[in-house]
A and B are shown apart, each in its own frame.
Chain A
Amino acid sequence: DTAVSQTPKYLVTQMGNDKSIKCEQNLGHDTMYWYKQDSKKFLKIMFSYNNKELIINETVPNRFSPKSPDKAHLNLHINSLELGDSAVYFCASSQGKNYGYTFGSGTRLTVV
C-alpha cells in the first residue's frame, strides 16, 4: 500500500523528447511537491501545490510544467529534454507546514 507512488521509476530518453512523470498520494495530504536531486545529492524544490493551487514555483526552465488534476495527484511534464535534466526527481506530500514530508521512491531520468 504505497503512500506516495511515482511512475515510471526509470526513464531513459533522447534529447529533445517530451516526457511526463506521474505522482499519486493516498494519504489525504493537502500539499504536494516536486524535488530534483542532482548527481551530488543536492535537493532542489521545483514546485508545490496546496489543494490544487500552485504555491511554490521556483526558478526552473519553462520546459517544466506541473499539473495537479486533484489534490491526490501532481504530475510533471518536461518538454524538449536536455542532457542537464538528467537527475532523480522526487514527489512528496505533507499534511501541512508543521508536518514532515512523505517522499516517493523517485524517478531516475537519464537524457542521452
Chain B
Amino acid sequence: AQSVAQPEDQVNVAEGNPLTVKCTYSVSGNPYLFWYVQYPNRGLQFLLKYITGDNLVKGSYGFEAEFNKSQTSFHLKKPSALVSDSALYFCAVRPMDSNYQLIWGAGTKLIIKP
C-alpha cells in the first residue's frame, strides 16, 4: 500500500537553531511531493512542492525541502527557526498515476522555544 510517514509526532527546537521535519514515502513511480503548514485553528497553507528538477526546493517563510530519491525522503528544513514557525506540518505525496488524490502524512507538531 502507498503511504507517507512522518516519523516524529513532535519536534522541539530552540529559536535560532536549524530545524528539520522528516518525511518518507512509499509510492510507485516518481511522485509529486508537497509540504503544508497548519497554524492553530486555521486551515492548511501550502509551503512548497517538488515536481521535477533541482532536489532542493525553496518555499514560503524561508523553508526549503530536499528530495532524496534513493532514500524516498522529502525532509523540510529551515536554517534558523522562529517562534512563529510553531505549528503542525504535513507532508503529502501524489503518485504520478493518481487521480488528483494526495496521500497525507499524520503531521508533525513543531515547537520552537524562545
Chain A residues with CB under 8 Å of chain B are 4, 31, 40-43, 45, 48, 50, 55-56, 90, 92, 94, 97-106
Contact = CB atoms under 8 A, between A and B. Distances in A.
B90 A102 contact: no
Contacts, number: 56
B61 interface: no
B99 to A, nearest CB: 6
Interface in B81-107: 88, 90, 94, 98-102, 104, 106-107
15 contacts: A40-B106, A42-B104, A42-B106, A43-B90, A45-B101, A45-B102, A50-B100, A90-B43, A97-B100, A99-B49, A101-B44, A101-B102, A103-B43, A103-B45, A104-B43
Interface residues of B, number: 23
A106 B107 CA distance: 17
